[in-house]
A and B are shown apart, each in its own frame.
Chain A
């Protein structure tokens, strides 16, 4: 926190090298957030740049009530969500969950494409097929090591919803892998 304060005050004084340091410290986090939400890889880098431009513009408003990383992740999450909203990409909201679950487990198109890949790669591809909120919550919890509280703050979801999304996402991936393992045994 003290390091963040020192870094922010240097950036606010106009020290661009300090801002470069801030970018280096948080670029992976921002890239994770954006890449889990936005599937089109061509848009991702520009979106990540936009996030840091917003961070630069709003840095004087940062009030140290949360960690700098949580604040930056919130900006990244909202920016990426707004991007897919603008592009009118389907959200697969909770009400559609049951339909989605059935389709997801039944869908065998991916299996043929993944025939020569290992199981971990299967899971990575399956994660990308999950609805946006599920895959972003999974990444924040398992890759970025965030707490339920932090994820709730970033996404605006209650902690209970975050836990529920995590449970459902892992359950769905398990069902998919189980189905795949069952098939492998039959071969």
Chain B
């Protein structure tokens, strides 16, 4: 059983209204207004922003995938090395490099010198090679 108000809403929806009746007139105003779009301002670059977020997300996903494979690779390498050492009874032997132990200062100097050359190369050479 429909209430008089429900019947009134139905008839207004079908375009039948009586402007002399206050309820009918008020409903007419309401039905006209509720058809209007709400204020929905989206920026003109809306789709560009979404696509750039998708690209970034995909790059991040690809990087994480690479990182996962790298991690698996390192893990497999370590496990393989351990198994190999256990099975073959391998013992680490510094061999010819044993003499370095007697020249600790020289080793530190060599590392610093190589580091200095690298720094010079990065800081000075690009300036001279730039056209």
Chain A positions near chain B (C-beta within 8 angstroms): 16, 19-20, 23-24, 27-28, 31-32, 34-36, 41, 44-45, 48-49, 52-53, 56, 119-120, 122-124, 127, 138-139, 142-143, 167, 170-171, 173-175, 177-178, 181-182
Contact = CB atoms under 8 A, between A and B. Distances in A.
23 contacts: A19-B51, A19-B54, A27-B42, A31-B40, A35-B39, A48-B42, A52-B50, A53-B53, A119-B33, A120-B33, A123-B29, A123-B30, A123-B34, A124-B33, A138-B34, A139-B38, A143-B36, A170-B30, A170-B34, A174-B26, A177-B26, A177-B30, A178-B26
Contact of B36 (A23, A27, A120, A178): A120
Interface in B1-50: 5-6, 9, 22-23, 25-27, 29-43, 46-47, 49-50
Given A123-B30, A178-B23, A182-B22, A23 B37 contact: no
A interface SS class: helix
B67 interface: no
Contacts of B36: 120, 124, 143
B47 A20 contact: yes
Interface of B: 5-6, 9, 22-23, 25-27, 29-43, 46-47, 49-51, 53-54, 57
Nearest to B10: A167
A45 B38 contact: no
Given A35-B38, A52-B50, 7 more contacts: A31-B42, A49-B53, A124-B33, A143-B36, A170-B34, A175-B26, A177-B29
Given A143-B36, A174-B26, A23 B47 contact: yes
A53 B54 contact: yes
Given A23-B50, A27-B42, A49-B46, A167 B9 contact: yes
List 4 tightest A-B contacts by C-beta distance, closest first: A123-B33, A31-B40, A120-B33, A178-B26
